[in-house]
């Protein structure tokens, strides 16, 4: 079985804002595109246009219905490898193919050593491992390690593909081992949480909970009263200023 390195000072990972994710799947698609042409074997698709399509995806977005009646809402929940500090997928690997980098905490798979036994997938409590149906090896999120250290890319592109492509800025990347980093401050300010903390895997990636909805104002609205107000607000303030300018 594979041993874990000593915990690294640098802990690169993602912070995902569940309040902003709209489930558009842009992160899923861009992840697939980048990693299909990345450092490992391509992310294959088997029978993609047939009755039983199959394929390897490193990032998925699930949708859940939460709440009742007026409080009902849809929560979009992105999920990929969480690069756990105590990663059971690493210690379960019989060949050393699954490993955790000592320098930044990223969990990777050496596909040349992977025998496709699936033990890492069985041990992962998050279901974040994917068996490639064509290559016969295990695949997982790499945090786009071939992007974040690539000095041939513009600085703004040296982040994971999913973060770069998110249209709502729901995904953030950085060093969660540094309490003064932007991502750490975001987690602190928004009460970021671990996924399944009871599993004691110490995931590096964090989630930001949806914000509570604003309470509905039950005060009756009168357009006449708003128009006659001494200090109009909103539309009526704009209308009042416009009429003043017109003389």
| pLDDT tens profile 221-243 | 666 665 566 666 677 677 777 77
Contact (CB, 8 A) for 226 and 105: no
Other Cβ atoms closer than 10 A to 61:
19
Q: Which helix (H) or strand (E) holds 30?
A: helix 26-36
Mean pLDDT is highest, among 38-52, 64-78, 171-185, for 171-185
Alpha-carbon separation of residue 163 from 20, 27, 144, 193, 242 (angstroms): 13, 7, 10, 19, 43
Mean pLDDT is lowest, of 46-60, 106-120, 183-197, 219-233, for 219-233
**Which domains, from first to last, does the chain contain?**
12-208 (3.30.70.20), 221-247 (no CATH)
- Structure confidence by residue, pLDDT tens digits, 131-149: 998 889 999 999 999 999 9
pTM: 0.83
pLDDT computed for residue 71 by the predictor: 77
- Measure the CA–CA gap between 81 and 65, rounded to whole angstroms: 23
- Segment 208-224 shows an average pLDDT of 72
Here the tokens at position 17 are: 């804002």
- Measure the CA–CA gap between 4 and 119, rounded to whole angstroms: 16
pLDDT computed for residue 188 by the predictor: 97
Between 209 and 215, the more confident residue is 209
């Amino acid at each position: 079985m594979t041993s874990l390195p000593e915990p690294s000072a640098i802990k690169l990972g993602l912070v995902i804002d569940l309040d902003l994710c709209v489930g558009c799947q842009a992160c899923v698609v861009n992840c697939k595109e980048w990693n299909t042409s990345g450092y490992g074997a391509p992310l294959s698709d088997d029978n993609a246009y047939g009755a039983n399509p199959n394929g390897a995806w490193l990032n998925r977005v699930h949708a859940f219905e939460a709440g009742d009646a007026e409080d009902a809402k849809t929560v979009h929940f992105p999920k990929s490898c969480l690069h756990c500090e105590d990663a059971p997928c690493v210690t379960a690997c019989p060949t050393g193919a699954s490993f955790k980098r000592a320098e930044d905490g990223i969990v990777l798979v050496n596909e040349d050593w992977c025998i496709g036994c699936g033990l890492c997938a069985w041990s992962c409590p998050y279901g974040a491992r994917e068996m490639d149906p064509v290559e016969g090896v295990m695949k997982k999120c790499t945090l786009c390690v071939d992007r974040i250290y690539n000095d041939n890319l513009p600085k703004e592109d040296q982040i994971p593909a999913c973060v770069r492509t998110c249209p709502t800025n729901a995904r953030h990347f950085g060093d969660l081992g540094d309490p003064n980093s932007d991502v750490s401050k975001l987690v602190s300010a928004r009460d970021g949480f671990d996924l399944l903390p009871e599993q004691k895997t110490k995931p590096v990636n964090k989630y930001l909970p949806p914000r509570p909805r604003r309470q509905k104002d039950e005060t009756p609205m009168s357009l006449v009263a708003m128009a006659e107000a001494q200090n109009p607000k909103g539309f009526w303030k704009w209308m009042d200023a416009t009429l003043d300018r017109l003389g």
